[in-house]
Amino acid sequence: MLEGFNFRIIWEYMPFFMEGVRNTALISLISLFLALIAGIIACAGRLSKWKLIRGVAIFYIESIRTTPLLVQIYFFYFGLPTLGFRIPELQTGILALMLNSGAYIAEIVRAGIQSVSKGQSEAAYALGLNESQRLRLVVLPQALRVIIPPLTSQYLNLTKNSSLAVAVGYPDLFAIGRTVINQTGRAVEVIGITMIVYLSISLLTALFMNWYNQRIRLVER
């Protein structure tokens, strides 16, 4: 069944594949962390009582969510230099992934916070809790039940979308795999390994998020 396939080529190019895996993991992990921060900040702005701050947050969220990620990557890499800025490939990918996922995360966090009934907040104030304590002890523990599942999906999307950084020359797993295909002509083997690596990264991400979700549920009980 495997006749005609030459998987030895994978071992011959293993150092290159490992470099691609490292680069993919690097851009994904940094972007995941920064996207969460950007999403929380944007959500705070979206819920702000100040019209200017709320307007800026809405503009950011809607402008990002209504334009393709690839266009955003090209803008940061080719468009910003015309304004006097030059961003390297890695930083371009991180910036685009952070802002893109941050816009979606902002809406996810907002939905989670707004899912908590106002009665919970009123009860917290009645107990003498301040705003910080209300959010930390009352709102967030309940909101996380709504936030975690869609946040997991968004993290998986970010990991897969990291392959778009190849558009500006970032040497991630996909870019290196394409180079190996051009040198060896073994497309099926290389694409198969690439898919397995992305699948493994996605499964690890999902397992961690599901573990965290279960841990939160146990704590709440």
Q: What is the pLDDT of residue 219?
A: 54
Q: Evaluate whether residue 162 is within a structural domain.
A: yes
Q: Evaluate whether residue 172 is within a structural domain.
A: yes
Q: What is the pLDDT of residue 193?
A: 86
Instruction: Report which of residues 99 and 48 the model is more confident about.
Output: 99
> In terms of DSSP H, where are the helices of 47-126?
51-65, 69-74, 89-114, 118-126
- Total domains in the chain come to 1
CB hemisphere CA count around 164 (13 angstroms): 20
Q: Evaluate whether residue 2 is within a structural domain.
A: no
How far apart CA 49 and CA 68 sit, in angstroms, is 30
Longest Cα separation, the chain: 73
Percentage with pLDDT > 70 across the chain: 93
What residue type is assigned to position 133 of the chain?
Q
How far apart CA 113 and CA 214 sit, in angstroms, is 19
Is 60 exceeded by the pLDDT of residue 188?
yes
Q: Evaluate whether residue 3 is within a structural domain.
A: no
Q: Evaluate whether residue 192 is within a structural domain.
A: yes
Among the residue ranges 6-10, 81-85, 159-163, the one predicted with the least confidence is 6-10
List the domain range (segments joined by +) for residue 30: 8-220
What digits encode the pLDDT tens for the residues 112-137? 888 887 777 677 767 777 767 777 77
Q: Evaluate whether residue 69 is within a structural domain.
A: yes
CATH code for position 114: 1.10.3720.10
